[in-house]
């Protein structure tokens, strides 16, 4: 394993009735927050009322930024920054899924930065100005944004969707019961997204990573076991709790540190969600098996083999290539079982934007990728998935 520093800055309160812990955590840092949320789900499921009550009872001054959309646009960041500046707000409270939390993080980076275009906040690198503290209440198990420093934003004008690094949330509340109202399609997308984050780091050049790969396998087994439970029992607490923690752990650095890594599926997924409006998680049940089929060969068979034996219980005495091929089929079977798409045609995606997508793709860090790829490879994978 490579050397690494492991220092996650986020304090997590996990479990039922943990929202009450949030208020003193906020008051440790500020008593003036921007309360960010999405298109209204928190008003329908009662979480909004609980937040307002907590803010008022604890004398925390707040202003609201609402209607943050899935695949959020940088315009929401600009709006949030302006509200913070106008009302001298010094903290951000994000209540929602990854889209809301990602937006909150970029707002936190924007308030003290001079910019003429909000897209400038997305610029990676050293941030030599103060970020506002971010607090989150997670309502959807998928992106793990509640315990990492990543934000993914869209720029409709530039036709771009890209990630940046800001700061870890200071404190996150993960109450799995808050995910009970998530519609089935987003439950499914969440499970697939968690698997995708895990596989992004699992498929790595590093083969001296038995422990980390074991963590990854455990996360994938959790997704498969409890993804199936949710099909018939969508509010099962055991399933919700295990998936909530799996989603956080898949992308909080635990399984990534110590390995050279550069993500693949997400590089291809981001423009697909942007151009076709597809839900983030649903791109991966399509892209991952097609990528696997594209890259599998005798030199790369080992990680497929371990997945096949340990996740799906395939006979370890079979030839490794046979196990690897069965592994890909098992992933497809699972995705199909939970209702996730396996082909672009199932979700109305045709090839009309493929050339433009590939043309604009920014492929970097190939030296750290399990399988380096170029634009032609991406086009081939996209076409095979039609």
Residues that bind ligand NZQ (CB under 6 A): 38-42, 45, 70-71, 96-100, 102, 139-140, 142-145, 148, 150-152, 178-179, 181-183, 186, 193, 251, 266, 280-281
CA atoms of 255 and 321, how far apart (whole Å): 25
> Which CB atom, from 146 or from 193, has the smaller least distance to Zn ion?
193
> Which CB atom, from 69 or from 112, has the smaller least distance to ligand NZQ?
69
65 close to 36: Cβ distance less than 8 angstroms: yes
CA angle 19, 20, 26 (to 5 degrees): 85
Exposure class string for 8-25: b at 16+ Cβ within 10 A, else e: eebebbebeebbeebbeb
Q: Minimal CA–CA distance to 167: which of 124, 214, 224?
A: 124
Minimum Å distance from CB 193 to Zn ion?
4
Give the one entry of Zn ion, ligand NZQ, none that residue 179 binds, where binding means its C-beta sits below a cut-off of 5 to 8 angstroms depending on kind. ligand NZQ
Helix/strand number for the chain, H first, E second? 14, 8
The helix/strand/coil state of 336 is: helix
Q: Minimal CA–CA distance to 331: which of 288, 283, 300, 371?
A: 288
CA atoms of 297 and 300, how far apart (whole Å): 5
Minimum Å distance from CB 328 to ligand NZQ?
22
> Which CB atom, from 101 or from 323, has the smaller least distance to ligand NZQ?
101
> Which CB atom, from 41 or from 198, has the smaller least distance to ligand NZQ?
41
CA atoms of 54 and 42, how far apart (whole Å): 15
Minimum Å distance from CB 104 to Zn ion?
17
Minimum Å distance from CB 320 to ligand NZQ?
30
Minimum Å distance from CB 334 to ligand NZQ?
19
Q: Which parts of this chain interact with Zn ion (CB under 5 A)?
A: 193
Give the one entry of Zn ion, ligand NZQ, none that residue 181 binds, where binding means its C-beta sits below a cut-off of 5 to 8 angstroms depending on kind. ligand NZQ
Give the one entry of ligand NZQ, Zn ion, none that residue 144 binds, where binding means its C-beta sits below a cut-off of 5 to 8 angstroms depending on kind. ligand NZQ
> Which CB atom, from 144 or from 341, has the smaller least distance to ligand NZQ?
144
> Which CB atom, from 288 or from 314, has the smaller least distance to ligand NZQ?
288
């Amino acid at each position: 394993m490579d050397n690494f520093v492991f220092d996650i800055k986020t304090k997590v309160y996990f479990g039922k009735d943990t929202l009450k812990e949030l208020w003193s955590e906020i008051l440790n840092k500020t008593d003036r927050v921007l309360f960010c949320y999405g298109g209204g789900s928190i008003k329908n499921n009662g979480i909004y009322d609980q937040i307002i009550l907590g803010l008022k009872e604890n004398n925390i001054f707040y202003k609201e930024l609402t209607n943050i959309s899935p695949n959020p646009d940088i315009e929401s960041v600009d709006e949030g920054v302006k509200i913070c500046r106008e009302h001298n707000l010094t903290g951000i409270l994000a209540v929602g899924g990854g889209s809301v939390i990602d937006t909150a993080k970029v707002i936190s980076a924007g308030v003290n930065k001079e910019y003429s275009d909000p897209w400038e906040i997305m610029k990676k690198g050293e941030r030599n100005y103060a970020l506002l503290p971010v607090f989150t209440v997670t309502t959807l198990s998928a992106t793990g944004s509640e315990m990492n420093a990543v934000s993914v934003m869209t720029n409709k004008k530039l036709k771009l969707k890209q990630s940046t690094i800001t700061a870890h949330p200071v404190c996150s509340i993960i109450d799995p019961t808050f995910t009970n109202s998530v519609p089935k399609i987003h439950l499914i997308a969440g499970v697939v997204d968690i698997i995708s984050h895990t596989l992004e780091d699992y498929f790595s050049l590093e083969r001296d990573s038995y422990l980390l790969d074991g963590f990854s396998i455990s996360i994938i087994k959790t997704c498969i076991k409890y993804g199936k439970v949710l099909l018939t029992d969508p509010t099962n607490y055991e399933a919700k709790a295990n998936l909530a923690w799996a989603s956080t752990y898949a992308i909080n650095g635990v399984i990534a540190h110590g390995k050279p890594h550069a993500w693949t599926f997400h590089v291809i997924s981001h423009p697909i969600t942007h151009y076709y409006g597809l839900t983030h998680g649903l791109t991966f049940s399509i892209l991952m098996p097609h990528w696997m089929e594209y890259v599998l060969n005798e030199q790369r068979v080992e990680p497929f083999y371990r997945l096949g034996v340990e996740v799906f219980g395939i006979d370890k005495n079979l030839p490794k290539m046979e196990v690897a091929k069965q592994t890909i089929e098992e992933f497809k079977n699972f995705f199909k079982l939970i209702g996730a798409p396996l082909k672009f045609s199932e979700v109305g995606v045709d090839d009309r934007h493929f050339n433009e997508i590939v043309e604009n793709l920014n492929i970097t860090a190939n030296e750290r990728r399990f399988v380096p790829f170029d634009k032609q490879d991406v086009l081939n994978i996209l076409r095979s998935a039609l």
